[in-house]
Amino acid sequence: MTVESTAARKPRRSSGTKRAAGAASAAKPAAATAQTQDAEPQLVQLLTPQGDRVDNAENAEFAPFVADITTEDLRGLYRDMVMTRRFDGEATALQRQGELGLWASLLGQEAAQIGSGRALNDADYVFPTYREHGVAWCRGVDPTNLLGMFRGVNHGGWDPNTNNFHLYTIVIGSQTLHATGYAMGVAKDGADAAVIAYFGDGASSQGDVMEAFNFSAVYNSPVVFFCQNNQWAISEPTERQMRVPLYQRAQGFGFPGVRVDGNDVLACLAVTRWALDRARRGEGPTLVEAFTYRMGAHTTSDDPTKYRRDEETAAWESKDPIQRLKAHLLATGGADEAFFAELEAESEAMGKRVREAVRAMPDPDTMAIFENVYADGHALVDEERAQFAAYLASFESAEEGH
């Protein structure tokens, strides 16, 4: 996509604010419907797929939010994406080797996750789905923590308050309400913080997501809804989820919606910083639609070749988020081959570490079934725990008898 073609299209941002109200009201419903079929919809973009820096009227509001980004920062973003992809690839391999029961790959969505994840402050709070491995990386969550639930040794298992990163949520869209409630609490506390809720294009069909939009708007809560529109909800394309572009939905709830190039880490960083900044200033929620693509399967249990065309996947390969930043770094002299080689070695070492950690991960103790069901205890759980312990002990005493 060229800069010119982007600029020529109609505005991509709807808003509840006075400033953009004119642009939003100018969009006709018929045109909006037609836009769902667009192969190249309008996006906030700062780096082209070729790695060229874009400066245009469309990104002018957001570009200042990454004006401070140094070459070293860009290398850092690149490192985050490479490490995340390596981790994700390792997990996929571990699933194929039978070490994990399931894996939800983020392949192709590294820029959306690293860009938005690096926009967060320490005090901000994240409510992820089950695919936010890159955001977890940005929060400093030990990658092996993410694998416990996929290996079947726990259902999450980490303390969300250690890194302000909530447990993965599997039921689609539920966490957008948790994020909204948490943000209501942040506002009550008068804290200088914001909350970000991740979800996908499929989740946008869920009632909970609409309720989260509405609650956050009504209470003016400091929450950013970050939708990674990866085009597919397992086998269902976005046409089965919506008739109008996702970001436009925010307008109906009374807050701004922005569509950003989800394969452009710099644009994702800028737009998310902008949205978080609004939230922290008390200007309420924002919907960010990161327009991206899931290059792999929904999870290791489905087969994308059954429901999508190779040409489509190939077209998105040319927009790869990592290659894009690499091209930019090479073209601007921001990094040399030594940097890339060093990073390759680092990511390989991380993959090895993860592999070893997963294989060493012990099964939980049998009696863990009864642990943490209740905080204050429960007579029935106590009774069943004692009965089951006695039952297990009966085998031991039987063995002793032989």
Catalytic positions, written as ranges:
294, 298, 307
Check binding of 374 to another protein (CB under 8 A).
yes
Closest to 154 in 3D by CA, of 100, 86, 215, 76: 100
Q: Is residue 153 near another protein by the rule CB under 8 A?
A: no
Residues comprising the chain, all counted: 402
Task: Give me the least distance between CB of 236 and another protein, in Å please.
Answer: 20
| DSSP letter, residue 165 | B
One symbol per residue from 352 to 371: x for binding another protein (CB under 8 A), - otherwise; what is it?
Answer: -------------------x
7 or 373: CB nearest another protein: 373
Residue of 61, 107, 381, 388 that binds another protein (CB under 8 A): 381
Residues 108 to 127 in contact with another protein, rule: CB under 8 A: 127
What sign results for the dihedral spanned by CA atoms 64, 67, 69, 71? positive
Cβ proximity to another protein: between 243 and 374 the closer is: 374
Map the footprint of another protein across residues 182-241, applying CB under 8 A. Answer: 182-186, 188-189, 207-208, 211-212, 214-215, 218
Residue of 331, 373, 386, 393 interacting with another protein (CB under 8 A): 373
Rounded to 10 degrees, the C-alpha dihedral 133/137/142/143 comes to 40
Q: Which is closer to another protein, CB of 89 or CB of 160?
A: 160
Beta carbon of residue 67, minimum distance to another protein (angstroms, whole number): 33
Nearest to 151 by CA among 106, 107, 105, 94: 94
CA–CA gap between residue 381 and residue 229 (Å, rounded): 42
The site string for another protein over 161-190 (x = CB under 8 A, - otherwise) reads x----xx-x-x--x-xxxxxxxxxxx-xx-
**Least distance in angstroms from the C-beta of 219 to another protein:** 8
Residue placing its CB nearer to another protein in the complex, 180 or 263: 180
Closer by beta carbon to another protein, 53 or else 155: 155
Q: By CB under 8 A, is residue 70 in contact with another protein?
A: no
Provide φ and ψ at 125, rounded to 5°. -125, 140
User: What is the Cα–Cα distance from 170 to 75, expressed in whole angstroms?
Assistant: 33
Tokens 């693509």 map to which residue? 293
- Is residue 347 within 8 Å of 82, Cβ to Cβ? yes
Q: Are 380 and 116 in contact (CB under 8 A)?
A: no
- The number of residues that bind another protein (CB under 8 A) is 44
CB of 42 to another protein, least distance (A): 31
Nearest to 254 by CA among 228, 282, 284, 225: 284
User: In which element (H, E) is residue 125 found?
Assistant: strand 125-127
Q: Which two tokens stand for residue 149?
A: 């639930």
Which residue among 36, 56, 144, 154 contacts another protein (CB under 8 A)? 154
User: How many CA atoms lie less than 13 Å away from 206 in the CB half-sphere?
Assistant: 17
| Residue 47 engages another protein in binding (rule: CB under 8 A) | no
Question: DSSP 3-state assignment of 401?
Answer: helix
| Interface contacts to another protein, rule CB under 8 A | 127, 154-161, 166-167, 169, 171, 174, 176-186, 188-189, 207-208, 211-212, 214-215, 218, 371-376, 378-381
